[in-house]
Amino acid sequence: MNTVMTVVTNEYFPAAAVLFGVVIFWTVALFGGLSLLSTNQPPIATLTWLLFVYAAAVLSPLAGLLAMVDLLRRWLRNRRSARAEGRVAGTKSA
């Protein structure tokens, strides 16, 4: 199986992609994402941009939190099943 297919079918991929997107959004915001306000734009363009940024600022922390919870839940579930099968070092007695 090739590497690209492995990444796309990985169970962690959707949540990791969302979390990566949230981190990128806030990184860009830290480095001047509101630069549109310093240029001469029509008021409707500025209002549309502000509404988009407001929605993204409100929804992105929620999406990031849900992605982190999903990643943690999947990791713990896989760890539990690995421990039950004795695949985790130090969990299977002789």
Q: What is the largest CA-CA distance in the chain?
A: 74
Helix 43-84 and helix 13-30, axial crossing angle in degrees, nearest 10: 140
The pTM of the whole model exceeds 0.75: no
Q: For residue range 16-30, list pLDDT tens digits in order.
A: 888 898 888 888 777
Tokens of 71: 């990643």
DSSP per-residue string spanning 20-56: HHHHHHHHHHHTTTTGGGGS---HHHHHHHHHHHHHH
Q: For residue range 34-57, list pLDDT tens digits in order.
A: 666 677 778 888 788 878 888 888
